[in-house]
């Protein structure tokens, strides 16, 4: 299957599952292909035939964007170098959950979350330690008795009851012993924090030298600016002490390529609940879809972040009303 067909299939599946899906980020380089929202769940999705193409720089950018946009970064792919991705198993690359289209279908369409995740050494599941302890005590079994049944140490059983996850083989043995489901699903839409490696959050990259003046102006007006390097926008600008929406920010000469980026920013913003602005030297129009165009001198004359929010709202509203 071509990558284009795979992207089309995955985006159609997300739409069938009730997600509002953004336009595809048809530019390079790109950290994610689409943003999608269903209720309170916002996901940023990278779609790949071979997940080995998902590199560290892209993973770091997706994790940063997930934090700044309150979204879950995900990779949906078919295979790795060694094998096809197994159904209903969550893998991890550079701290980002990865799974197959079949797993995505079960999760988003059938509402059946995966139970298994891959980690160094094999496949594992989450054990409900409290339930395991209750089941053991109901039978009046000691830790040593259960350890003997499983062929593990007493200390290992104690760790299972304290919340340590278990191999698939141990989980199956436990469920056979107690005739009860003792596993809990992987919470993919929370980033699978309970099982993924505790990789530290990557720092923001430095701003492009061409954007330093724009970044300095945004910071002066009260924004915290998070530069990007692999997205259709140059930065996500947030305010720590206010509930205003984040602002996706672009900056360049207003070329056809810039107009394309502005349209993608608009589509992503409508799904992600952000505003978007593109800073240019001279603007011949007020906006591109829901991305406001602001001249650099106009931005430099602003003193407060609220001025930029107001300009974006007014220009987009006027364009939509025209």
- Total structural domains within the chain: 3
Tens digits of residue pLDDT in 199-216: 778 889 999 999 999 999
pTM of the model as a whole: 0.91
Q: Name the domain boundary from 114, 137, 154.
A: 114
Q: Is residue 238 part of a domain?
A: yes
- Split at pLDDT 50, 70, 90, the class of 197 is low
Same domain assignment for residues 62 and 106? yes
Within a domain: 153? yes
Of 114, 145, 160, the residue at which a domain comes to its end is 114
CATH (domain of 135): 1.10.260.40
Percent of the chain at pLDDT exceeding 90: 77
pLDDT digits (tens, 9 = 90+) for 130-177: 999 999 999 999 999 999 999 999 999 999 989 888 889 998 999 889
Q: What's the 3-state SS for the chain?
A: CCHHHHHHHHHHHHHHCCCEECCCCCCCCCCCCEEEEECCEEEEEEEEEEHHHCCHHHHHHHHHHHHHHCCEEEEEEEECCCCECCCCEEEEECCEEEECHHHHHHHHCCCCCCCEEEECCEEEEEECHHHHHHHHHHCCCCHHHHHHHHCCCHHHHHHHHCCCCEEHHHHHHHHHHHCCCCEECCCHHHCCCCCCCCCCCCCCCCCCHHHHHHHHHHHHCCCEEEECCCCCCCEEEECCCCCCCCEEEEECCCCHHHHHHHHHHHHHHHHHCCEEEEEECCCCCCEECCEEEEEHHHHHCCCCHHHHHHHHHHHHHHHHHC
Mean pLDDT computed over 56-64? 94
Q: Which domain holds residue 292?
A: 209-321
Contact 70, 77 (CB under 8 A): no
């Amino acid at each position: 299957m071509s990558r284009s067909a795979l992207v089309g299939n995955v985006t159609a599946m997300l739409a069938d599952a009730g997600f509002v899906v953004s336009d595809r980020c048809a530019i390079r380089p790109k950290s994610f292909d689409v943003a999608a929202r269903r209720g309170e769940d916002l996901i940023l999705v990278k779609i790949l035939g071979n997940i080995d193409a998902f590199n560290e720089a892209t993973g770091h950018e997706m994790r940063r964007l997930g934090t700044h946009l309150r979204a879950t970064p995900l990779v949906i792919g078919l295979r790795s170098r060694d094998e096809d991705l197994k159904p209903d198993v969550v893998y991890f690359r550079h701290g980002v959950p990865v799974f197959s289209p079949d797993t995505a279908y079960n999760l988003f369409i059938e509402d059946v979350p995966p139970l298994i995740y891959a980690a160094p050494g094999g496949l594992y599941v989450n054990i409900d330690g409290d339930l395991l302890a209750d089941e053991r005590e109901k039978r009046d079994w000691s830790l040593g008795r259960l350890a003997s049944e499983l062929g593990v140490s007493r200390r290992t059983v104690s760790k299972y009851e304290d919340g340590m996850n278990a191999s698939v083989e141990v989980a199956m043995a436990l469920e056979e012993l107690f005739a009860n489901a003792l596993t809990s699903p992987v919470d993919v839409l929370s980033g699978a924090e309970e099982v993924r490696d505790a990789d530290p959050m990557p720092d923001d990259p430095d701003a492009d030298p061409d954007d330093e003046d724009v970044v300095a102006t945004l910071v002066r007006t009260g924004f915290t600016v998070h530069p990007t390097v692999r997205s259709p926008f140059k930065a996500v600008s947030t305010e720590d002490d206010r509930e205003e929406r984040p602002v996706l920010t672009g900056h360049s000469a207003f070329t056809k390529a810039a107009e394309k980026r502005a349209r993608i920013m608009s589509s992503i913003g409508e799904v992600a609940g952000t505003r978007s602005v593109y800073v240019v030297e001279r603007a011949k129009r007020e906006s591109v879809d829901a991305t406001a165009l602001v001249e650099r001198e106009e931005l430099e004359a602003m003193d407060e972040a609220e001025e930029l929010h107001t300009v974006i709202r007014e220009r987009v509203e006027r364009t939509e009303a025209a």
